[in-house]
Amino acid sequence: MALLSDVHGNLPAFEAVMADVRNSGAEEVWCLGDLVGYGAQPDECVALAREVCDRVLAGNHDLVVTGDIDIGDFSSAAAAAAAWTRENISADALEWLRALDPDDEKPAVALYHASPRDPVWEYVLSTWQAEECLPLMARRVGAVGHSHVALWFRDDDGGKVTGAQAAGGSDADLSEGRWLLNPGGVGQPRDGDPRAAWMLLDTGAWTASWRRVEYPIEQAAKAIQDAGLPPVLGDRLYTGQ
């Protein structure tokens, strides 16, 4: 299946990823949350997710737009984007977002927006965090988004946890050990690579492949500018930060 996260209202990036997903032959699409926030096309991204995604989680940016968490917990730019999204998202899209949960442990891969320990807020960016989170997963393999960084962490069942960023084009054999995976960000990558990120995951062969896709960044940045959102939200798309 295709695993993706952190679309953040960036329709050009989402469309580019879905074109790549269709070419890959993936049979299902799972989204780990944050369909909205930062970008200027929330309705369009929600509509596309409803059309193509088989599973969708709620991210913290989705939850602040629905009013389930406090906007005061966000940085100034993120809060400005959340306030704008609240004012501009359609009632239908908002109602659909309200039905989402930040985790889903039912499929073969346990899904969490942020982490198994805190599905809404925790950023898993280090091996010591992964070491504490891996035993809490409902499955041998789990996936998180939230950090906008493509990553992997592995417990070899001997108590040693390793991990690293996953560059586009890298692969992993998941057949042994416990794994916590992050596909990276579709609409707001923050690992220095501005290309949209997603992961091709095969739960039969237990392999993972991290993908990167070029997309028209200037279109997403212009939409942010035209909406009157903080300029930094568009500027950083060009650097992947």
The string of pLDDT tens digits covering residues 83-116 is 999 999 999 999 999 999 999 999 999 999 999 9
Closest of 240, 176, 169, 179 to residue 209, by C-alpha: 169
Q: How high is the pLDDT of residue 12?
A: 98
pLDDT average, residue stretch 63-81: 95
Alpha-carbon distance of 241 to 149, in angstroms, equals 10
The string of pLDDT tens digits covering residues 213-232 is 999 999 999 999 999 999 99
**Which CATH number applies to 2-238?**
3.60.21.10
Domain ranges of the chain: 2-238
Q: How high is the pLDDT of residue 157?
A: 76
Closest of 49, 52, 54, 44 to residue 22, by C-alpha: 52
**Exposure string over 190-225, b if 16+ CB within 10 A, otherwise e:** bbebbbbbbbbbeeeebebbbbbbebebeebbebbb
The string of pLDDT tens digits covering residues 14-60 is 999 999 999 999 999 999 999 999 999 999 999 999 999 999 999 99
Cβ-contact 201, 1 below 8 angstroms: yes
